[in-house]
Structure 1
Amino acid sequence: MSGYGEVFRRGRGRHRRRRRAPLKTAAAVSALVTCSAFAVHAVDDDQEDCVPLPAGAKGGRGDLPAWCHGHRAGGAPAGKGGPGDTGDGVARDGDSGHRDRPAAPPAPEGVYDRERCGNTSGRVLLTLDDWPYNDPERSVRIGAQLKAQGIRAAFFLIGKFAAQYPQITRQLRQQGHWVGNHSYTHRHLPSLDDDELHDEIHNGVAGNLLRPPYGDAGERERELAAELGFRICNWTIDTHDWEKTQGHARSVDDIRASVRDATPEEKRNGVVLGHLFSNFPDALPDIVSDLQAQGYQVCRNNGPVTEKVPYPLDC
């Protein structure tokens, strides 16, 4: 077991249930993954939410609740610059993983599958959203454990918090994980005016993948994201790890089942959505084990990366 025993308090995000067209059927391949290195964290079910709801949604104002204002927040976007970027998304010696925006043009519309983030490998991409609010270094510990198992994941960080800990973005990329933009303050993009929308995307974590909060991005949002050098990256499997039942966070077993019971169409070339503040990281060993037993591999970790996520994905 690794150093995952710290107790932390956390916030929770919410995602809308999104309907998708049927996905293509597929075959699968297997991978052997040792899962015991992930350890369990305690969860505080009484913690107030620290991720905003869309404007007009029940229980939210489209802004961060008062509890979040005590966090270290604000400031400039995460740092940029780095000498080792060769344009292929693979870090070279001395590369910090930060470059000036735009990082790379999006793939042509109609070719790029937003639900799969450009994943055509047959493997499954694990993704972790938002921020571990009272334990920022949890991101790095999760990244280290995934790297130790030869797994590459994608982390979509809220820029407002990532800006205060730019070393976390650098460390995750050095560990071989992609780091994407989850907006600056997690506001509902379609509810923003043009200037607000620009700032919410532009001031987020530098890169070329954008995961819109709640997965919502219409034509206007997609067009602006493309102008700023971003591809939209959503998901095929939602673990609903952010949900509460009678005030309790969703359990590891329920999160695990949401991936295990997903359809083959959702798994092959699939993308799994989880969060850094939930029980999802503690469910990862079982999720990976189940996928392997069902004949699926997860994305392979081939070493450090830059902010430029290649298309198709290097899984």
Structure 2
Amino acid sequence: MKKIGLLLLSFVALSILSSCASVKKSMVTGISTIGSSDMYRPDESSAVCEPTETTEATAESETATQETEEEAIPDNQKMIAFTFDDGPDPNNTLRLLEMLAKEDVPATFFLIGQNVEMYPNIVKAIAKAGHEIGNHSYNHRDLTTLSQEEMVNEITKTDQAIENITGKRPKYFRPPYGSVNQTVADAVNRPIIQWSVDSEDWQSKNTSLIIERVTASATEGAIVLLHDIHQTTVDAVPELIKQLKESGYTFVTLDTLLDTPVKNDTYYGRDDFRPVGN
């Protein structure tokens, strides 16, 4: 009987391994590409037979995000959203994540596709911390100057790079330079995020000026534009958090800030959104 049992277990194990190999093969070819207004999505029949590091990171990030979203924001609290563009950066992003974790501050990171591919472990760290990740194009080119094919490539390559690591397609898009027209909006096919507070950190590269500009311009429901590729910006974050908290602000991700955002609309703040071109 023991020999028969062992033979049966061996047969079952071989069947499972064969099934997983077949599924993995189908996953490689199970991706469709977008047209001008329909973003690519993985084939719904795709499945994963064995857990991977990406799957674990996704599960942890989704749990962390859910816990953050479930925390009730009191009605008298002023909400504000920090957004960081152009990363991930090998010198600054991990340090920024430590600062945000210490102060229990969530943020949204708009990532460049080529940087995502170069620094996948940093992307995993962002996701595991429960922060939101958005698409900021692949090469940071002005999409309004590109051909339809080039524009779509900038969007889909970044979507795929992020999804390969986090398991999730970015929900939001921020156009490089804030440059957008209806053609870009149709290709993006999701809410487009601009900003209401510009730190101008890329220009000044001065920590004191960054703090002064953001705190002076902050309003309830604001979306703050920052760049984690600059050390001076990351240096400013602890003091920004301190002063804004003292002013009664609660830090949230875009998911919490925006109420049922609409694709192709452009969002400058929680209460400031409009169709592209308006």
TM-score by length of 1: 0.53
User: Is 1:147 matched up with 2:101?
Assistant: yes
User: Which of 276, 287, 291 lines up with 2:240 in the alignment?
Assistant: 287
User: Is 1:203 matched up with 2:157?
Assistant: yes
Query: Whose helix fraction is larger, Structure 1's or Structure 2's?
Result: 2
| Aligned-residue offset at 1:272 | 0.8
- The residue type equivalent to 1:222 in the other structure is A
In structure 2, the CA distance between the partners of 1:261 and 1:195, relative to structure 1 (3 Å rule), is same
User: Which of 130, 136, 152 lines up with 1:182 in the alignment?
Assistant: 136
For residue 272 of structure 1, what is the aligned residue in structure 2? 224
| CA offsets 1:80-139 (integer angstroms, 9 cap, x no match) | x997xxxxxxxxx835379xxxxxxxxxxxxxxxxxxxxxx8411111111365xx1531
User: Which of 56, 68, 81 lines up with 1:94 in the alignment?
Assistant: 56
Residue 56 of structure 2 aligns to a residue in which SS?
coil
User: Is 1:242 matched up with 2:194?
Assistant: no
* Contact 1:82–1:95 under 8 Å retained in 2: no
Written as runs of structure 1 = structure 2, the 5 A alignment for 1:103-182 is: 122-131=78-87, 136=90, 138-182=92-136
| Aligned-residue offset at 1:170 | 1.7
For residue 259 of structure 1, what is the aligned residue in structure 2? 214
- The residue type equivalent to 2:184 in the other structure is E
| Aligned-residue offset at 1:192 | 0.7
Name the CA distance, whole Å, in 1 between partners of 2:96 and 2:47.
Answer: 24
Residue 201 of structure 2 aligns to a residue in which SS?
coil
* Contact 1:97–1:173 under 8 Å retained in 2: no
For residue 298 of structure 1, what is the aligned residue in structure 2? 251
In structure 2, the CA distance between the partners of 1:208 and 1:239, relative to structure 1 (3 Å rule), is same
* Contact 1:159–1:185 under 8 Å retained in 2: yes
- The residue type equivalent to 1:96 in the other structure is T
| CA offsets 1:286-308 (integer angstroms, 9 cap, x no match) | 211221222222228xxxxxxx9
- The residue type equivalent to 1:195 in the other structure is E
User: Which of 133, 154, 179 lines up with 1:216 in the alignment?
Assistant: 179
| Aligned-residue offset at 1:153 | 0.7
Residue 225 of structure 2 aligns to a residue in which SS?
strand
| Aligned-residue offset at 1:152 | 0.3
* Contact 2:199–2:214 under 8 Å retained in 1: yes
Residue 291 of structure 1 aligns to a residue in which SS?
helix
- The residue type equivalent to 2:124 in the other structure is R
Which structure has more relative contact order (CA 8 Å, sep 6+)? It is: 1
| CA offsets 1:59-100 (integer angstroms, 9 cap, x no match) | xxxxxxxxxxxxxxxxxxxxxx997xxxxxxxxx835379xx
Name the CA distance, whole Å, in 2 between partners of 1:284 and 1:164.
Answer: 25
Residue 134 of structure 2 aligns to a residue in which SS?
strand
Name the CA distance, whole Å, in 2 between partners of 1:177 and 1:138.
Answer: 16
TM-score by length of 2: 0.59
| Aligned-residue offset at 1:309 | 5.2
| Aligned-residue offset at 1:260 | 1.2
For residue 146 of structure 2, what is the aligned residue in structure 1? 192
Query: Whose strand fraction is larger, Structure 1's or Structure 2's?
Result: 2
Residue 288 of structure 1 aligns to a residue in which SS?
helix
